[in-house]
């Protein structure tokens, strides 16, 4: 095989890989296969750094079937994407450290999910960065305390599996809790993974996936990096008290 032919083959493979990983294309292909006749209303929710293109694709396919939509996206992505959506609201939020805009969006997402009924469908769009973009602290943990814990974990060298283990256990929406809010509606989760192993429970801290981790696992992460006594007291005490139960 000539060098020129090898380059053409390599370029063809590269382009095919890009097409397969394109967020809008993946969402479009999947949603077009759904039997929407089974559902009354469709709600589109999500979070992530590819949220703009995923939401655009969802609105193109679902159109007037969307009763409400809300997606938390990374700060600045709406302007860069020159986005004009009619049925899905895009909410710019902080990343990698969560902020109040993300909390506002997470609360709206929870409200919309809870609105869905037995004959409805919730489409959940997730991509990289979703966990940071979806802060909904569980009492008594505050947003500021969650921010402090996130900064400590990021500085410690913890990997995304470890970071999300703690995030799930100080959240009201992660670790399968969004799916619980949406019940009895059907939930279709479209996950664009940047996590090694593609574990649905780790991608975005798994808002619609069963949580195999425990509060003991969350404490073990803090101990592994010797930061148990450095995280805010409310974070530590929530994990300790829940583990003690």
Which has more confidence, 70 or 20? 70
The count of other CB atoms within 10 Å of the CB of residue 59 is 20
DSSP state letters, 58-102 = HHHHHGGGEEEEEEEEETTHHHHTT---SS-EEEEE-SSS--HHH
**Quick one: tokens of 144?**
């500021």
How high is the pLDDT of residue 57? 97
The domain 23-136+176-210 is placed in CATH, from the list 3.40.50.10180, 1.10.533.10, 3.40.50.1820, 3.90.1150.10, at 3.40.50.10180
pLDDT digits (tens, 9 = 90+) for 140-150: 999 999 999 99
Q: Residue 244 above 80 pLDDT?
A: no
Q: Are 92 and 113 in contact (CB under 8 A)?
A: no
pLDDT score at 9: 66
φ, ψ dihedrals at 35, nearest 5°: -90, 85
pTM of the model: 0.88
241 pLDDT band, cuts 50/70/90, is confident
Q: How confident is the model at residue 242 (pLDDT cuts 50, 70, 90)?
A: low
pLDDT in tens, 7-45: 776 677 667 666 666 899 999 999 999 999 999 999 999
How confident is the model at residue 222, as a pLDDT? 96
Structural domain boundaries in the chain: 23-136+176-210, 138-170+214-245
Mean pLDDT of 121-130: 96
Q: What is the pLDDT of residues 11-20, one digit of tens each?
A: 776 676 666 6
> Mean pLDDT over residues 78-92, rounded?
84
Any idea what DSSP says for residue 38?
A: G
Q: What is the pLDDT of residues 183-239, one digit of tens each?
A: 999 999 999 998 888 899 999 999 999 999 999 999 999 999 999 999 999 999 897
Tokens 């095989």, residue located: 1
| 81 — pLDDT class (breaks 50, 70, 90) | low
């Amino acid at each position: 095989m000539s060098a020129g032919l090898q380059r053409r083959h390599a370029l063809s493979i590269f382009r095919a890989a890009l097409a397969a990983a394109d967020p809008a294309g993946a969402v479009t292909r999947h949603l077009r296969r759904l039997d929407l006749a089974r559902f009354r209303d469709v709600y589109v929710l999500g979070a992530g750094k590819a949220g703009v293109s995923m939401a655009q694709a969802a609105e193109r396919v679902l159109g007037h079937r969307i009763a409400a939509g809300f997606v938390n996206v990374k700060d600045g992505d709406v302007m860069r994407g020159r986005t004009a959506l009619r049925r899905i609201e895009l909410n710019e939020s902080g990343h990698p450290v969560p902020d109040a805009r993300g909390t506002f969006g997470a609360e709206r997402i929870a409200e919309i999910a809870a609105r869905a009924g037995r004959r409805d469908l919730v489409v959940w769009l997730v991509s990289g960065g979703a966990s940071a973009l979806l802060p909904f602290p569980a009492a008594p943990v505050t947003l500021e305390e969650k921010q402090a814990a996130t900064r400590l974990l990021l500085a410690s060298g913890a990997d995304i599996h470890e970071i999300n283990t703690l995030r799930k256990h100080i959240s009201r929406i992660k670790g399968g809790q969004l799916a619980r809010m949406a019940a009895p509606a059907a939930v279709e989760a479209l996950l664009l993974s940047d996590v090694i192993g593609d574990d649905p429970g780790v991608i975005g801290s798994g808002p619609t996936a069963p949580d195999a981790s425990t509060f003991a696992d969350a404490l073990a992460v803090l101990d592994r990096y010797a930061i148990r006594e450095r995280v805010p007291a409310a974070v530590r005490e929530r994990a300790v008290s829940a583990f003690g139960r």
